[in-house]
Amino acid sequence: MDVPFLLTKAQMRRIEPYFPLSHGVPRVDDRWILSGIIFVIQGGLRWRDAPAAYGPHKTIYNRFIRVCSTKYSLLWLLLAMPMTC
């Protein structure tokens, strides 16, 4: 699958401890979903304009809403910080 943007494995290792736990339902791959969120925000796109390779647009939107909650907003700060390792 060719996508315009994908988080690196190093970036994912850095933020994985802050992900909410799954509650029985298998989660769509966080790396693809977060990459889709970033792609949509960077491009100023509508959620449904995200390439299908990132996952269902409704899942991308729902995860964005969850990550923007106070508890998980630290994820965005970590993604914005430069990588030092």
DSSP 19: S
Check: CB of residue 68 under 8 Å from CB of residue 46.
no
Short-list 22, 19, 17, 46, CA closest to 34: 19
The continuous run of DSSP H or E covering 74 comes out as helix 74-80
Is residue 82 classed as helix, strand or coil in its secondary structure?
Answer: coil
Supply the pTM of this predicted model: 0.75
Residue 10 burial (CB count, 10 A): 9
Question: Each residue's pLDDT tens digit in the chain (85 positions)?
Answer: 577 888 888 888 887 877 777 778 787 788 899 899 889 988 899 999 999 999 999 999 998 888 777 566 666 666 666 655 5
Check: CB of residue 73 under 8 Å from CB of residue 9.
no
